[in-house]
Amino acid sequence: MESTSLPELLGPEAKKATGWLIALSIVMILTGIVAIAMPGISSVTFTLILGWLLLFNGIVRIVNSFRSKPIRGFWLSLIVGILYAISGVIVISNPIGAVLTLTWLFGFLLIFEGIVTIISAFVNKTGRSLAWLLGLDGVITLILGILVLSQWPQSAIWLIGLYIGISILMSGLSLLVVALSTRRAIQQTSVEA
């Protein structure tokens, strides 16, 4: 059986593909930095994108409910589609109110997650030696939720945009590391071959 080197296996497209991944990761990193630097604008922008996605999803569901009318669940699909579309219109027509609502809900979500995580640290039998780490995670999450709600509505100005910015930045950094590592591996195996 003949062994095939990595560059031969991936072909010349691999270098081109990693180039595109590197470019995409740089755009993501820059987008993340901008979102972190301007969290208010990022919060509203993300919320508007969410509103348009809800509206589009609602329209698709409504159309699909009529296309698949003979199948069971027509009314349920239609109602869900209408609710998605209405939600999208509400978010698009009042993005500031939507940002406030999402931040408030996010604060409660963090509090709930923190409480559940703390309880899991005491109840869960697996990984007992690391239960303290799970408990610490729960306490920090609970504190973050309390901070978000105690600073609400001011926290709405920065919270969503900051979190989205951090997420995009970290995704861009990890994609860059993977792309550079892949390119380096291809170059090393082609030199060895």
pLDDT of residue 192: 63
Q: What DSSP line would sit under the chain, residue for residue?
A: -----HHHHH-THHHHHHHHHHHHHHHHHHHHHHHHHSHHHHHHHHHHHHHHHHHHHHHHHHHHHHHTTTSTTHHHHHHHHHHHHHHHHHHHH-HHHHHHHHHHHHHHHHHHHHHHHHHHHHH--TTGGGHHHHHHHHHHHHHHHHHHHHTTTTHHHHHHHHHHHHHHHHHHHHHHHHHHHHHHHHHHHHHH-
How large is the average pLDDT for residues 34-53?
Answer: 92
Asked if residues 183 and 12 have their Cβ atoms less than 8 Å apart, the reply is no
What pTM, to 2 d.p., does this model score? 0.67
| Bond preceding residue 7 cis, omega within 30 of 0 | no
User: In this model, does residue 5 exceed pLDDT 60?
Assistant: no
Tokens representing 35 are 């979102």
C-alpha span between 182 and 163 (Å, rounded): 28
How large is the average pLDDT for residues 159-180?
Answer: 86
Residue 33 has phi, psi (to 5 degrees) of -65, -45
The model's pLDDT over 66-101, given as tens digits with 9 standing for 90+, comes to 887 767 778 888 899 999 999 999 999 999 999 999
The model's pLDDT over 97-141, given as tens digits with 9 standing for 90+, comes to 999 998 899 889 989 988 998 888 888 765 667 777 878 888 998
126: left (phi over 0), alpha (psi -120 to 50) or beta: beta
The model's pLDDT over 150-165, given as tens digits with 9 standing for 90+, comes to 988 888 888 888 888 8
Q: Whole-number mean pLDDT of the chain?
A: 84
